[in-house]
């Protein structure tokens, strides 16, 4: 192709997408070893197959993890009754808490019993140990070998070669520079959290260890929001029932993008679970069909445990017609019951809006070739549209469209609560972004090794955390076993910060 076709008049005449497609195909050939010997190409093929198998198993282990911890009621002090209602109980009356997001995050944010938080954080960050650590051991070595055969210094160089960022060195410089700039803000926030903890320990007659531990972070962040910004998380979530948020969110997106969403009748939906909903999308002006999306919003055993959007069918021109995209959005919001509605925290509303932005990125795509459909863009750009759209979750008008009290949908978030919420937008953003830098730097370090270089995942994470964050890693944990982005966003986690900054 390179030697013969590129010199033809047809190739020279290619423009727009088709010209870009040709350059991408040639690049893909090189990145898959077409220039290598038959023997080396076979090695590449075998390595890629094994990498895929290991990644699937890693994610499967996480999805099927069923770790639970049992607690007495007094061990769950501080947790609101609305959250307690979702915990199942043993015959002896203990409460069963899972590692699913609707259980874990409310507990870590509200439980005033330090030993309970410590036990939960330990269990959460040790999910799939040792099986996923064994998988990562093999995975990072295979990626390093794969990069070496193709002529790259390491896997990070191989990945970033086709990103917006020029090189791994530029990525590391970017992360280090951002960390330095955030240091004064993070120090100030950390100092305030320490004062909150010291005050609480003194009032309880307990010793103060002078440290915000990993199992303290979310708890004192929530306390900071309550004390410094007077944000009552539990009161605010009463105004964000899932159905109300869903309607408001869809109204906003339909208005912004001139679209119309029509839900498909349950009897006509052939999906992977009964909870899944399907929507057809039309251009509100021309009435043209634009595509479909599935919503799968509640946790269950075996399901992907984070929040993400998957493109099932890409947009393209095919047989003289336009093939429209089909996307699936997966989240893990509390499932409503006959006695307890699903109420979202504002942070979950932001997550919902963010992920739905990816759906719209796919739906609004209009391309000739599926290669460029929707979110098929450079990985360190793909978060930018959704991060931009998140800002609607911090605007008065749009929040009022998405809220309505659980007892009366017409009762909107009071002005006083709304103003306090809006003022809390940047609460603890220094420490939050420092944490993002830790994760991005950890990802880069793991994928910058050479083949045969031994990796201690725990020690590498501890070292990386010390470089950027005042919050220590809990001894005996191994976060790498459940950091799913190491499989799906390998050497690319920096993209969240890159998209946000640029």
Return the SS3 of 441: helix
The rounded distance, in Å, linking the Cα atoms of 304 and 138 is: 22
- What is 445-472 written as a DSSP string? HHTTPPTT----HHHHHHHHHHHH-SSP
Angle at 254 between CA 252 and CA 255, to 5 degrees: 65
Nearest to 36 by CA among 152, 143, 139: 152
Return the SS3 of 378: coil
The rounded distance, in Å, linking the Cα atoms of 250 and 293 is: 12
Q: What is the dihedral of CA 155, 161, 164, 170, to 10 degrees?
A: 70
Question: Are the C-beta atoms of 349 and 245 separated by less than 8 Å?
Answer: yes
**φ, ψ for residue 296 (rounded to 5)?**
-125, 95
Q: Give the residue carrying structure tokens 């459940």.
A: 482
* Annotated active-site residue in 121, 348, 355, 383: 355
Q: What is the dihedral of CA 426, 429, 430, 436, to 10 degrees?
A: -160
Question: Are the C-beta atoms of 460 and 447 separated by less than 8 Å?
Answer: no
The rounded distance, in Å, linking the Cα atoms of 19 and 427 is: 46
- What is 265-287 written as a DSSP string? PGGG---SSTT-EEEEEEETTT-
Distances from the Cα of 229 to the Cα of 278, 296, 395, 416, 419, angstroms: 39, 33, 17, 11, 10
325-330/289-296 β-pairing? parallel
355 included as an active-site residue: yes
The rounded distance, in Å, linking the Cα atoms of 9 and 446 is: 46
Nearest to 437 by CA among 384, 493, 483: 493
The rounded distance, in Å, linking the Cα atoms of 157 and 148 is: 10
Q: Taking the CA atoms of 470, 332, 261 and 315 in sequence, report the sign of the dihedral they define.
A: positive
DSSP for residue 161: T
- Which residue numbers are catalytic? 355
């Amino acid at each position: 192709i390179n030697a013969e076709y590129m010199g033809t008049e047809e190739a020279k005449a290619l423009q727009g997408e088709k010209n870009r497609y040709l350059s991408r195909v040639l690049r893909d050939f090189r990145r898959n070893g077409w220039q290598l010997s038959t023997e080396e190409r076979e090695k590449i093929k075998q390595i890629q197959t094994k990498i895929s198998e290991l990644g699937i198993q890693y994610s499967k282990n996480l999805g099927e993890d069923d770790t639970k911890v049992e607690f007495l009621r007094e061990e769950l002090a501080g947790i609101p009754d609305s959250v307690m209602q979702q915990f199942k109980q043993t015959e002896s009356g203990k409460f069963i808490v899972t590692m699913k997001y609707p259980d874990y995050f409310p507990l870590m944010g509200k439980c005033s019993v330090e030993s309970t938080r410590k036990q939960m954080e330990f269990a959460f960050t040790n999910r799939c140990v040792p099986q996923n650590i064994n998988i990562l051991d093999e995975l990072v070595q295979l990626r390093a070998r794969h990069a070496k055969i193709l002529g790259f210094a390491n896997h990070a160089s191989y990945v970033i070669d086709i990103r917006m960022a020029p090189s791994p060195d530029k990525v590391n410089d970017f992360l280090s520079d951002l960390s330095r700039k955030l240091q004064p803000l993070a120090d100030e926030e950390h100092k305030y959290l320490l004062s909150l903890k010291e005050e609480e320990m003194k009032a309880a007659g307990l010793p103060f260890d002078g440290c915000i531990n990993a199992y303290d972070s979310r708890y004192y962040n929530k306390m900071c929001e309550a004390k410094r910004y007077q944000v009552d998380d539990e009161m605010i979530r009463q105004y964000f029932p899932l159905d109300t948020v869903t309607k408001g969110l869809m109204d906003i997106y339909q208005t912004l993008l001139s679209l119309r969403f029509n839900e498909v009748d349950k009897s006509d939906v052939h999906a992977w679970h009964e909870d899944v909903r399907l929507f057809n999308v039309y251009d509100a002006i021309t009435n043209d069909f634009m595509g479909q999306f599935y919503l799968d919003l509640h946790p269950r055993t075996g399901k992907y445990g984070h929040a993400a959007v998957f493109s099932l069918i890409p947009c393209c021109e095919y047989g003289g017609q336009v093939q429209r995209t089909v996307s699936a959005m997966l989240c893990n919001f509390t499932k409503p019951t006959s006695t307890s509605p699903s109420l979202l925290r504002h942070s979950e509303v932001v997550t919902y809006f963010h992920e739905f932005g990816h759906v719209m990125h796919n739906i609004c795509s209009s391309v000739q070739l599926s290669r460029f459909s929707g979110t098929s863009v450079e990985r360190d750009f793909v978060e930018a549209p959704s991060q931009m759209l998140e800002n609607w979750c911090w605007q008065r008008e749009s929040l009022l469209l998405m809220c309505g009290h659980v007892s009366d949908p017409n009762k909107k978030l009071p002005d006083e609560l709304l103003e306090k919420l809006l003022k809390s937008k940047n609460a603890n953003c220094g420490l939050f972004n420092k944490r993002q830098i830790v994760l991005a730097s950890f990802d880069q370090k793991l994928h910058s090794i050479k083949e045969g270089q031994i990796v201690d995942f725990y020690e590498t994470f501890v070292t990386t955390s010390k470089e950027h964050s005042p919050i220590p890693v809990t001894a005996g944990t191994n976060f790498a076993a459940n950091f799913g982005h190491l499989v799906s966003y390998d050497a690319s986690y920096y993209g969240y910060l890159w998209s946000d900054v640029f």
